[in-house]
Amino acid sequence: MSSLAADLEAAGRIGADGEGVTRFAWSPELAEANAWLMRQLEELGLETQLDPAGNVLGRWEGGEGKAVLMGSHLDTVPCGGRYDGALGVLAALDAVRRLRAEGVEPRRPVWVVSFNDEEGSRFQTGMLGSRAFVGNLDLEDWRSRGVAAAMAEAGFEFERLAEARRIDEVGAYLELHIEQGPTLERSGTDLGIVTAITGMLGFRARLVGEANHAGTTPMELRRDALAGACRAVLALREEARARSDMTANVGVIRVEPGGFNVVPGAAEFTVDVRSPTAEGFERIDRFVRETLGRIAVEESLGLELAETHRKPPVALDAGLQDVLEEAAGEEGASTRRLPSGAGHDAMVLAHHVPAAMLFVPSRGGISHSPAEHTPPELCDLGARVLARAARKLVA
């Protein structure tokens, strides 16, 4: 068993929850995982710190200039898998182990990080640790969600969150992560080089018609809000299927008044559309507004459309993508460039420093589940490529 595989085993036992793993932000389980990680980092001679935001930092100080930061997160979703986040942290640890073994003397600092609360499972807010690290705080919102109370209980001070800002000392960020989708496995590709983190746009739509008797109202006179909503669902699906740079999902729908013998008077539903390119992001925004507006008119329905979230796509650094590609080539790995459909700490970092991500395949495209799996040889391959890329940046 490789060192990385052994680390994955060890980390996966912390917070074990049936077949899965549960480690929430500021929980005893995450504290145990953090302490374990710090011991591993210390064994490699790194200076470790649990910062005021609950991020673990391992610093290999050497040379001059800004640090090359590598890592991911150790927090999980409820009953998640062993790979999401943890693999990126442990691959960074493994990369440092390799550089040490090769006797590399870095010209600039090499840091390993495990960002706190990437998943946001506990407070329904994500990437709290990396946002504190770059100084992008939303204290009022976090306090209202109970973050301050949870921090106090774990021995942290909410008032000191701003002290976690260290982005000015960082020159580049590399994150290895499982793909969480089926593209690499299906195409038989070893590794993915991430071009961008997809932009996410959300709406709450409400179509308003007229509730009426389901037996006596003539079909051509009905103003059926649910029929309008169904047309919207299918129009979104059709558009997304016709495009390579778009996904669309309606995940929640509620019909009023909700009687089997009543024509639906109102239908309220969510819309989640995503695109990894700036141009695609503009287009999906227009498409949702125009399509729902048109259907409302054609179905004689009223439309209320409210935006619930807007996170434009984040392009990752082209130079670092090339470094990863070259490193992968030297390891004999096949690669493919692809966008990430999920959010990651890298999207927070990318607003401040050059950032890049390396994907390893997810078996069956599954994540956020105990069934998450990446073959050990591909985990090791990913870690070797990460180590090579780091060496190119620091040696």
Interaction site with Zn ion (CB under 5 A)? 84-85
- The crossing angle, in degrees rounded to 10, of helices 3-13 and 86-101 is 140
Write down the least CB distance from residue 190 to Zn ion, Å: 20
Q: Is the CB of 84 or the CB of 299 nearer to Zn ion?
A: 84
Q: Is the CB of 185 or the CB of 372 nearer to Zn ion?
A: 372
User: Nearest residue by C-beta to Zn ion?
Assistant: 85
Write down the least CB distance from residue 181 to Zn ion, Å: 13
Write down the least CB distance from residue 12 to Zn ion, Å: 15
Write down the least CB distance from residue 208 to Zn ion, Å: 39
Contact predicate 151/299, CB 8 Å: no
Q: Is the CB of 4 or the CB of 227 nearer to Zn ion?
A: 4
Q: Is the CB of 115 or the CB of 287 nearer to Zn ion?
A: 115
Q: Which amino acid is at 59?
A: R
Write down the least CB distance from residue 236 to Zn ion, Å: 27
Q: What are the C-alpha distances in Å from 215 to residues 223, 235, 261, 262, 299? A: 14, 28, 7, 8, 19
Residue 388 CB coordination number (10 Å): 21
3-state secondary structure of 25: coil
Residue 304 CB coordination number (10 Å): 13
User: How far apart are alpha carbons 166 and 189 in whole angstroms?
Assistant: 36
Q: Is the CB of 89 or the CB of 381 nearer to Zn ion?
A: 89
Write down the least CB distance from residue 23 to Zn ion, Å: 12
CA dihedral 75, 81, 84, 85 (to 10 degrees): 30
Q: Is the CB of 178 or the CB of 236 nearer to Zn ion?
A: 178
User: How far apart are alpha carbons 259 and 279 in whole angstroms?
Assistant: 42
